[in-house]
Amino acid sequence: MKKHNVRIVGGDYRRTPIPVVDAPGLRPTPDRVRETLYNWLSHFWGADFHDKAVLDLFAGTGALGFEAASRGAAHVQMVESNPHAVAALRALRTKLKADNVRVFPGDALHVLERTANPFDLVLLDPPFNQGWLEKIWPLLPAVLAPDALVYVESEAPVSPPPSLEALREGRAGSVHYQLLKIAAPQDKIMPSAVH
């Protein structure tokens, strides 16, 4: 199989090629979709990533996470279970001298169950047709900062749990993608004061 690259589309590492390793289920997010996502994030965050902690749970090539690092995110935690992909992620992190990136070799659910740090952005681009999102939704609230955003890519329109609501959504070919935020509590209606 011919090796190919994707490229970082913005920030300090713009135009850096990212090698795509041959691994089952690995589907790099297309450049156009990443550009759309980071335009959305720049809108909601005022283009300021410097204090943001990002969790890229199915890092794959690292395209989504390195985009955040390229834009100056304070911390990017990448999680990947494929050893070849992990080696490629670490090699690219070293090449870029991206000290704000950590690469954890392991299982996404294991990390969610054991992570205590809150994240401002969680990137979810799991292998398609394996039921990952249903397993992840119950574990996600524990790792979300109060105003956290969640990006999801899937093979079908995403039905987020009641704890999350859609901010933006799009489609590129067979890929559906959404940016979610923590839903406002439904019990915010204040009772009228009794005098």
Distance CA 171, CA 173 (A): 6
Across 159-176, average pLDDT: 92
Sheet holding 119-124, edge to edge: 101-105, 75-80, 53-56, 119-124, 144-154, 175-182, 164-172
Q: What is the pLDDT of residue 60?
A: 92
Nearest of 20, 41, 64 to residue 153 by alpha carbon: 64
Reported as a single tens digit per residue, the pLDDT across 85-98 is 999 999 999 999 99
pLDDT in tens, 131-144: 999 999 999 999 99
Domains and CATH numbers, the chain: 4-182 (3.40.50.150)
Percent of the chain having pLDDT more than 70?
93
What is the per-residue pLDDT for 71?
96
The contacts found for 38-45 with CB under 8 angstroms, 24 or more apart, are: 38/9, 38/10, 38/67, 38/71, 40/167, 40/168, 40/179, 41/121, 41/149, 41/179, 42/71, 44/149, 44/167
Q: What is the pLDDT of residue 1?
A: 38
What distance in Å separates the CA atoms of residue 114 and residue 169, rounded to the nearest whole number?
30
User: If you average pLDDT over residues 173-182, what whole number do you get?
Assistant: 92
Read off the DSSP letter of residue 50: T
C-alpha–C-alpha distance, residues 12 and 70, integer Å: 5
Rounded to an integer, what is the distance from CA 93 to the centroid of its chain?
Answer: 17
- pLDDT-derived band at 122 (thresholds 50, 70, 90) equals very high
CB atoms near residue 50 (< 10 Å): 10
**Confidence class for position 4, pLDDT limits 50, 70, 90:** low
pTM for this predicted structure: 0.90
On average, the pLDDT of the chain sits at 89
Q: Which residue has the higher pLDDT, 116 or 54?
A: 54
